[in-house]
């Protein structure tokens, strides 16, 4: 366990960036093809980076503060990790609540549907006010599934 504490924190980036003390990049394909060990390491690094990119893609679509570059000055640069951590905590909280507030697949379908036919979902017949939010979401999801071909 003590040996792992000696490994410094670093950012994982693709080969478009330069290696540095705090940035570790994947190898260029030509470099990786020369050595089996380097090739395996490259695949592992790329796989880890891909998972992180996907996670940030989901977070960016939900939390608009991440959708553009974080505006900061040198004096408050240390606030950026706190902001990202707060977004991650809120995101996980919403997922853990499992109350239908955040479902990536349903959200994507809803957005596509709203652009195509907003009035159908807001129509009183489609989702009457007497229904609970959960009932409305379920009914609207069924409508979206039928229209988008997922049902």
Strand-pairing partners, residue 135, are none
Strand-pairing partners, residue 13, are 25
Asked if pLDDT for residue 44 goes beyond 70, the answer is yes
| Model pLDDT for residues 65-116, shown as the tens digit of each residue | 887 777 765 557 777 888 888 988 888 888 777 655 556 666 666 666 555 5
Q: 47-51, 55-59, 65-69, 133-137: which has the minimum mean pLDDT? A: 133-137
- Cα dist from 13 to 3, 47, 105, 113, whole Å: 24, 11, 27, 35
Alpha-carbon span 149 to 147, nearest angstrom: 6
What are the sequence ranges of the domains in the chain? 1-62, 69-99, 103-151
Band of residue 118 on the pLDDT scale cut at 50, 70, 90: very low
pLDDT of residue 61: 78
Alpha-carbon span 24 to 8, nearest angstrom: 11
Alpha-carbon span 44 to 38, nearest angstrom: 10
| pTM, entire model | 0.45
């Amino acid at each position: 366990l003590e040996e792992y504490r000696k490994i410094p924190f670093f950012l994982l980036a693709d080969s478009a960036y330069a290696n540095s003390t705090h940035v570790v990049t994947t190898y260029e394909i030509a470099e990786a093809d020369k050595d089996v060990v380097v090739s395996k390491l490259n695949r592992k690094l790329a796989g880890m980076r891909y998972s992180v990119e996907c996670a940030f893609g989901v977070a960016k679509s939900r939390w608009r503060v991440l959708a553009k570059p974080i505006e900061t000055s040198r004096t408050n640069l240390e606030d950026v990790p706190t902001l990202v951590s707060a977004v991650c905590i809120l995101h996980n909280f919403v997922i853990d609540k499992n109350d239908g507030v955040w479902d990536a697949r349903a959200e994507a379908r809803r957005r596509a549907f709203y652009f195509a036919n907003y009035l159908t979902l807001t129509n009183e017949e489609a989702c009457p006010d007497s229904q609970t939010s959960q009932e409305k979401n379920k009914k609207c999801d069924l409508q979206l599934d039928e229209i988008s071909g997922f049902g």
